[in-house]
A and B are shown apart, each in its own frame.
Chain A
């Protein structure tokens, strides 16, 4: 089994789903067996979730959407 430091180095690639299936399984297994590592990974994921959630609350104003629709129509003719 990989050591905690090696697993920690894969933290972001794991969170970003950028690992191979085999590496992903290895990290998953380590986290299931190592509560301290699991806490570290969980905190990272939670922080990123908070960041994503609050940024995604922002929507384009209706007048901008209307202007872009008009641009689209102009470029059709």
Chain B
């Protein structure tokens, strides 16, 4: 059932849906910032998302997930419009990246570092820039699932609908992307530990 099939005063219901849609602007914007990599493009992407949503608002089925519907529009805009216009040299697979990181990790650490500080202490020392850098280095399609699952809290099924991919693909991308994020933050631990060691030696 779409809006045009309902009996209620249509303009009131449409306005309510649009008002609710605007409450999700922070979610859409922060996702857009991480996907485009800059505030100006993110603003354009979000504005375009709302323009498309308001134009086709009558196709939205009341009672279904409005937030997921908006994310689907934004994702399509990102892939079909933004990505075609702005080409950035990005990977679409994690294979090379993972090997590169494993290699670097082994070379840099030499041996397994002694567990001199706790993981909680490491996490306390990780700042926003570290997390954003780690996220930015993920290929688009892997970063997208992390943002949808871990930041926006969508269920696997909802992410599968938004991205139009099977649930199994959502799970495998999420698994690999999270592993990669964690590896990078552990890499950060090595830096913190060598810093701590350096201070102790001095």
Contacts and interface: CB of A to CB of B under 8 A. Distances in A.
Interface of A: 12-13, 16, 18, 43-44, 46-48, 50-52, 54-61, 64-65, 67-69, 71-72, 75-76
A18 to B, nearest CB: 6
A6 to B, nearest CB: 16
Top 9 A-B residue pairs of the complex, sorted by shortest distance between their CB atoms = A60-B29, A58-B30, A75-B54, A54-B128, A55-B151, A60-B25, A72-B18, A54-B131, A68-B50
Contact of B132 (A54, A64, A71): A54
Interface centre among A50, A55, A65, A69 (most CB of B within 10 A): A55
A67 B29 CA distance: 13
B185 interface: yes
Contacts of A68: 22, 25, 46-47, 50
A22 to B, nearest CB: 18
B174 interface: yes
B57 A55 contact: no
Given A54-B128, A55-B131, A64-B25, A16 B156 contact: yes
Contacts of B155: 16, 18
What DSSP secondary structure best describes chain A's contact surface? Answer: helix
B149 interface: yes
Interface residues of B, number: 46
Contacts of B34: 55
Interface string B159-181: 00000000000010011001001
B22 A65 contact: yes
B137 interface: no
Contact of B29 (A48, A54, A58): A58
Given A50-B131, A67-B47, A44 B29 contact: no
Nearest to B46: A64
A46 to B, nearest CB: 5
A52 B34 CA distance: 12
